[in-house]
């Protein structure tokens, strides 16, 4: 028998706290831009990605993945200028999706 996956319930405050922790990790990635592969930081980013995907709807998973991938590209890039711009756009999109999700949960 297959288990049915149900969305987990998170408060808007929990979502904002996870988003703040993710932003702090993005800031750390920016400080290490162009520094090369950092396994510990990449694991931290992956953990944030899993948490945010669980908190947001399925449509937001792509936005979460884009932001996490952009942060990893910042680390690995020899010239991080373009990846930094991509990360900034991905962070903006992620914040907008999180705000929309919080508003929808408040309205429900």
Least confident of 11-15, 26-30, 63-67, 74-78: 11-15
Let me know the angle formed at the C-alpha of 58 by 55 and 28, rounded to the nearest 5 degrees: 55
* Structure letter (DSSP) for residue 108: -
3-state SS assignment for residue 56: coil
Where would I find the beta strands (DSSP E) of 21-67? none
88, 81, 85: which is closest to 34 by C-alpha? 81
87 neighbors 29 (Cβ within 8 angstroms): yes
63 neighbors 90 (Cβ within 8 angstroms): yes
| Cα(62)–Cα(94) distance, integer angstroms | 10
For position 8, what pLDDT does the model report? 62
Where would I find the beta strands (DSSP E) of 6-106? none
For position 105, what pLDDT does the model report? 67
Residues 28-72 have pLDDT tens digits of 999 999 999 899 999 999 999 999 999 988 888 999 999 999 999
What is this structure's pTM?
0.87
Let me know the angle formed at the C-alpha of 85 by 82 and 89, rounded to the nearest 5 degrees: 140
**Which residue did the predictor score with more confidence, 106 or 56?**
56
């Amino acid at each position: 028998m297959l288990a049915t996956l149900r969305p987990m319930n998170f408060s808007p405050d929990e979502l904002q706290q996870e988003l703040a922790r993710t932003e702090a990790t993005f800031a750390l990635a920016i400080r290490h831009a162009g520094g090369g592969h950092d396994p510990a930081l990449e694991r931290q980013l992956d953990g944030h990605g899993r948490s945010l995907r669980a908190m947001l709807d399925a449509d937001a998973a792509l936005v979460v993945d884009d932001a996490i991938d952009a942060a990893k590209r910042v680390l690995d890039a020899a010239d991080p200028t373009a990846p930094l711009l991509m990360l900034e756009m991905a962070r903006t999109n992620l914040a907008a999706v999180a705000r929309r999700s919080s508003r929808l949960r408040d309205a429900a």
